[in-house]
Amino acid sequence: GENVEQHPSTLSVQEGDSAVIKCTYSDSASNYFPWYKQELGKRPQLIIDIRSNVGEKKDQRIAVTLNKTAKHFSLHITETQPEDSAVYFCAASHPTGNQFYFGTGTSLTVIP
Amino acid sequence: KAGVTQTPRYLIKTRGQQVTLSCSPISGHRSVSWYQQTPGQGLQFLFEYFSETQRNKGNFPGRFSGRQFSNSRSEMNVSTLELGDSALYLCASSAQGSEKLFFGSGTQLSVL
């Protein structure tokens, strides 16, 4: 089955700096890659997603890039703010339906 | 529109007991999936239901089962509880034709 690896597991940045989280996947049939943000004690929420026919997608301070050949995708957060502090999960979808394989999460801390 | 609702919020059980968790999806969503979240392991897929049919199943033992009712509400059952079943169980719903997951707040299960 699919295997998603995520790095780093923890990340601390100064406010205003950029943060990058990287994920790799193993199944070349995976075609949809969402990112979820989970604040402490709260539910995961979708923040951005990308499909395999697109190389990059941006939404204000957040961007995701996908390299299908290398089977890796990354989340980029620019101009980080304290409210960006959370655990971020990447995921890859199973092509047969709503079955997702999640990375183990990155705990991001933005230091004011 | 109300979000995904999970009950109960917390559960404490002892080894060998069984437990039933409930999930009410967003109105109109027919796909409901369940995930187990443990520290350091991320989210692991249990199963997904669509229109009362199990569409996908993860690699969990047969002690984990689920069902979906005609109103799209779903239940998950774990029999013969083990200490390792202690986790946050998250339910997510999605609209037909969409892969975007909307998560509930989860049920925190503690097995003593």
Nearest to A98 by CA among B95, B42, B14: B95
Q: Does A46 touch chain B (CB under 8 A)?
A: yes
What are the pLDDT digits (tens) for A69-98? 999 999 999 999 999 999 999 999 977 777
Query: How much is the pLDDT for B101?
Result: 95
**Residue A10 contacts B where some CB pair is shorter than 8 Å:** no
Percent of chain A with pLDDT over 90: 87
Q: How close does chain B come to A25, measured CA to CA in Å?
A: 15
- pLDDT band, residue A54 (cuts 50/70/90): confident
A6 inside 8 A of chain B by CB: yes
Distance CA B109, CA B25 (A): 20
Is B106 in CB contact (< 8 Å) with chain A?
yes
Task: Answer for the pair B6, B23: CB distance below 8 angstroms, yes or no.
Answer: yes
Question: What does the pLDDT look like over B78-106, one tens digit per residue?
Answer: 999 999 999 999 999 999 888 899 999 99
The residue written with tokens 């601390």 in the block is A12
* Interchain CB distance below 8 Å, B43 and A96: no
Average pLDDT over residues B61-78: 97
Give the strand pairing for A19-25 and A32-38: unpaired
CA angle A60, A3, A91 (to 5 degrees): 25
Q: Is the pLDDT of residue A5 over 90?
A: yes
What percentage of residues in chain B have a pLDDT greater than 70?
Answer: 100
Shortest alpha-carbon distance between residue A45 and chain B (Å): 7
Closest to A66 (Cα-Cα) out of A80, A48, A81: A48
What per-residue confidence (pLDDT) applies to A2? 84
